[in-house]
Structure 1
Amino acid sequence: MKKSDINFQVSLDDQNLPKKILWEASDKESIGLESTNSISLNVWDNLNQSTLRIDLWTEEMSVAEMKRFYIDIMGGMAQTILNSTGDEYMSEEIKALCDRLVQHVNEENKNS
């Protein structure tokens, strides 16, 4: 059985806010730690039948990048729900929401 390790290192400032986020995975193409400005990790807790979430971002992450990051996450979820359950309706609804959010963000960027 193949095994893959994914590791995160988070440096915090004096107020316990993320200052720097580094990550690595044992099966990624490049070797060593890479920097990122945001992570979003979701874990299904079988025992409590609920989702555990960890969302971290550095002050380097702009508001526009954060919005794009979450739209991309939801777009990926649309594909995952289709692949894992075959539920085309749910997948298409998530994609439609993403399309509306992209439109909203584009309008915001035009007006600022």
Structure 2
Amino acid sequence: MKKKESQITVKVGLDENQVPDTISWQATDADMENEQSAKAMIMSMWDPQDGNAMRIDLWTKDMLVDDMKVFMFQTLLSLADTLEKATGERNLAEDLRDYCAHFADKSGFSKPEDAQ
């Protein structure tokens, strides 16, 4: 029996200096008919052979600083959820969530909920 496959496509438009000015994506299993635009993306994959993370971090030149802070906060918070779900390490995930609250405070959010 053939395994089901899903495809995620990311397109990055570059300006004359090779700086991203557009990012769009589409997934075959998503409920979307058209590409979705984005201002930033973080993609990480684990290389089991070398035992390290491979990453692609991109943002468009018009991504606002305050939006980037919110994006980073939400990404860190979701990583805490992923850590807990994947490993069962609730205490370690809570430590990361505590850092997220600190990050929100340092970023100028009055409450972490304001960044969600």
Correspondence for 1:39 among 27, 32, 41: 41
Shift of 1:52: 0.7
Distance in 2, Cα, partners of 1:87 & 1:107: 27
Distance in 1, Cα, partners of 2:15 & 2:40: 15
The equivalences for 1:1-112 within 5 A come to: 1-106=3-108
Shift of 1:107: 5.8
Distance in 2, Cα, partners of 1:32 & 1:3: 19
Distance in 2, Cα, partners of 1:37 & 1:64: 12
Give CA deviations for 1:19-62 in whole Å, capped at 9, x if unaligned: 11110011111112111100100011111111111000001210
Q: Where in structure 1 do 4 or more consecutive aligned residues deviate above 4 Å?
A: none
For structure 2, which runs of at least 5 residues remain unmatched after alignment? 111-116
Distance in 1, Cα, partners of 2:18 & 2:109: 34
- TM score, norm. by length of structure 1: 0.90
Identity of aligned residues (%): 29
How many aligned residue pairs are there?
108
Q: CA RMSD in A?
A: 1.4
Q: Which amino acid aligns with 2:20?
A: P
Distance in 2, Cα, partners of 1:81 & 1:90: 8
- TM score, norm. by length of structure 2: 0.87
For structure 1, which runs of at least 5 residues remain unmatched after alignment? none
Shift of 1:105: 1.4
